[in-house]
Structure 1
Amino acid sequence: MTIPATGRRALLGFAAVTLAAPRLAAAQDAWPTRPVRYINPYTAGGPTDTLSRLLCQKMSDLSGQQFVVENRTGSGGIVGNQAIAQSAPDGYTLGLGGIATHAIAPTLYARMPFDPHKDFTFASGMWQLPNLLVVNNDIPARSVPELIAFLKANPGTYSYASAGAGTTLHISGELFKTMAGVDINHVPYRGSAAAYPDIIAGRVHMIFDNIPGALAQARENRVRALGVTSARRSPVVPDVPSISETLAGFDMSSWTCLCGPAGIPRDTVLRIAALARRALETEELKRAYLDQGATAWPTTPEEIADFRASEERRLAPIIRASGARVE
């Protein structure tokens, strides 16, 4: 029997697709088979950039594929996370989500260009980074209990700085006000570094800053460290008590997660999570993170998705009580 030319072409095309299908499936199963774009929604050179690049380099080493960091900044991380949410769900665009964009922003912002619950696939936690409460050296308090007593004796007189409304620095201060029952004023700055000249001079009196920046100032005796904001003491400053040792239940740490757009295939998500865990559990990366004041934090996809939702619920009443709102 003679097959017409058009039929032969169709048959050959079908055979090619059939033969290629296992190779395509294998390529998908073997993620990553090409470079992966990692979007950091914050500026180059900052703590999230340094920690992200350390992780991406380790994942590159382990997988044999490049994880390329792209800084996509704007609106406190909203711009970068919008880019993550709108990318193709193939596992080749991932990025940094976290407490600011996925737990604080849903309550802080009247409108957002993405839904943290519906528009992302969560693969793993990455790190946790507590804040350090430091005060002006002229403040007589040498401990958190002494600071609370001092502030209660001088209501409305003293103030705390932050890196802007809705940051963990701001929400740490609001949580402290609520739990300690003190009246202190919030003074926002464009980044914590800009606040230190005023704190050192005594124009503003304290800040709940990320450990790396605050610790550098404390070690130079420009400010005095009183407490860390994590539930337990930080291994970076083990001699500094946790605020929770005075205010039971106090806990406010920055945390980040490795996420991508909604719809990434389950097998690929599990491979992303497994690679992140391998990287985060290496002694080299754990030490490098501790040098930056952070703790490596691998999780399962389910654990990080549940944690994000619980953090949004926990922080919502604190944010509302602070009066912070972005229209």
Structure 2
Amino acid sequence: MRRHHFLRGLAAALALGAAMPAALAQSSKPIRLVVPFPAGGATDLFARTLSQKMGERLGTSIVIDNKPGAGGSLGSDMAAKATADGQTLLFTTTSTHSIGPAIGAKLPYDTVRDFTPIAHVGNAPSIMLVPNSSPAKTVKEWIEYAKKNPGKLNYASSGNGTIVQLTAELFKAQAGVFVTHIPYKGTGLAIPDLVAGQLDVLFDSLPTGMPHVRDGRLRALAVTTLKRTPLAPDLPPVADTLPGFESNTWFGLYGPKGLPAEVVNRVNTAANQALSDPEVRAKLTTLGIEPVTSTPAQFAKMVADDQAKWKRIIAERKIVNE
């Protein structure tokens, strides 16, 4: 009887192993995680933080492969064309799968047809920054100030078609104000002019903007999350004044099209478990990122909704990516 049970158990284990794709088996063969941005940036650091814990849960190592270029589309295209066996995954963000398609960029891939969504893993909110000389202490006061000075105020961005510009244009649309756009080659270059009072507002990423607030060089009025965030608990959301206002840079995991469902589910589970790890969450906090857990379906819907929102704003505000 014992031998009979043993043989039945062995047969079941062998059958499971045979049905399991090679990428799911615990082996020494590493998984390649393509990051379509340079090493050292927030996206790269997030990917490295998450991949270490994910690899432990998948029973293998995950190797980061930075493939920057063309606004993230170069690396994304490489991942899209990879074999759909789970050995190549993509770690990407808003610019490649929400804004790029929405603004009409000539991408070498279709964000829906050529990828398999796996997991939404995090959001990086922005903060609304004004110079200390601004008369506004709240979002409501800033809107009132802008309405009293139509066309006289300006906002900075990190360039045309970026999340920084789109966030400001979303704000303008919901607030009903006219504010002139001043593009810079990165928000870091705009900070000195904002401090000097030559600019009136900037929607900067939380980790790059908050140090200037802590140093007393700038004033933060609000965050761009729907609700208060533990990343900046003292700041109210813009949505308290403009209901429904939200703008985040999201991060997510994709695979090539046709990725088997069992691979998707296993990687999704590993990502969600890793994001619940206190060490991972602490590191993400230092990066100004809120961890997010999701199902593949929830991730796909979030991206579709995000892309539709920005497409509407881009069309209404006549924004072009120059």
Q: Secondary structure at the match of 1:151?
A: helix
Percent identity, aligned pairs only?
A: 36
- For 1:13, the equivalent position in structure 2 comes to none
For 1:40 and 1:159, the matched residues in 2 are separated by 34
Equivalent of residue 244 in structure 2, options 249, 258, 265: 249
Equivalent of residue 39 in structure 1, options 9, 21, 34: 34
Equivalent of residue 150 in structure 2, options 144, 151, 155: 155
One-letter identity of the residue aligned with 1:115: D
Q: Secondary structure at the match of 1:87?
A: coil
One-letter identity of the residue aligned with 1:52: A
Deviation digits for residues 131-178 of structure 1 (CA, Å, limit 9, x no counterpart): 111111111111101111111111111211112222221111001100
Deviation digits for residues 185-234 of structure 1 (CA, Å, limit 9, x no counterpart): 11222222222122122232221111100111111111110010111111
- For 1:85, the equivalent position in structure 2 comes to 80
Deviation digits for residues 30-80 of structure 1 (CA, Å, limit 9, x no counterpart): 345321111112222221121111101111233332111122112222222
For 2:147 and 2:26, the matched residues in 1 are separated by 56
Deviation at 1:23, TM superposition (A): 6.3
TM-score (norm 1): 0.89
TM-score (norm 2): 0.90
Structure 1 portions without partners, runs of 5+: 1-19
The answer to whether the 8 A contact 2:58-2:267 is kept is no
The answer to whether the 8 A contact 2:159-2:184 is kept is yes
1:239 aligns with 2:234: yes
Q: Which has the larger radius of gyration?
A: 1
Deviation at 1:266, TM superposition (A): 1.1
The answer to whether the 8 A contact 2:23-2:87 is kept is no
Task: Kindly report which structure 2 residues correspond to 1:268-307, keeping only aligned pairs within 5 A, or say none.
Answer: 268-307=263-302
Equivalent of residue 133 in structure 2, options 134, 138, 150: 138
- For 2:213, the equivalent position in structure 1 comes to 218
The answer to whether the 8 A contact 1:31-1:271 is kept is no
One-letter identity of the residue aligned with 1:79: L
For 1:31 and 1:286, the matched residues in 2 are separated by 27
For 1:70 and 1:202, the matched residues in 2 are separated by 41
Equivalent of residue 172 in structure 1, options 149, 167, 177: 167
For 2:259 and 2:26, the matched residues in 1 are separated by 13
Two-structure CA RMSD over aligned residues (Å): 1.9
- For 1:17, the equivalent position in structure 2 comes to none
For 1:193 and 1:163, the matched residues in 2 are separated by 8
Task: Kindly report which structure 2 residues correspond to 1:43-62, keeping only aligned pairs within 5 A, or say none.
Answer: 43-62=38-57
Q: Secondary structure at the match of 1:164?
A: coil
Deviation at 1:265, TM superposition (A): 1.1
1:122 aligns with 2:117: yes
Runs of 4+ off more than 4 Å = 20-27
- For 1:4, the equivalent position in structure 2 comes to none
The answer to whether the 8 A contact 2:120-2:253 is kept is yes
Residue correspondences, number: 308
Q: Secondary structure at the match of 2:188?
A: helix
Deviation digits for residues 90-128 of structure 1 (CA, Å, limit 9, x no counterpart): 111112233221122112124221111101011111101
For 2:132 and 2:246, the matched residues in 1 are separated by 25
The answer to whether the 8 A contact 1:127-1:297 is kept is yes
For 1:27 and 1:79, the matched residues in 2 are separated by 28
Q: Tell which deviates more after alignment, 224-233 or 187-196.
A: 187-196
- For 1:28, the equivalent position in structure 2 comes to 22
Tell me: CA distance 1:287–1:152, structure 2 relative to 1, closer, same or farther (3 Å). same
Q: Secondary structure at the match of 1:202?
A: coil
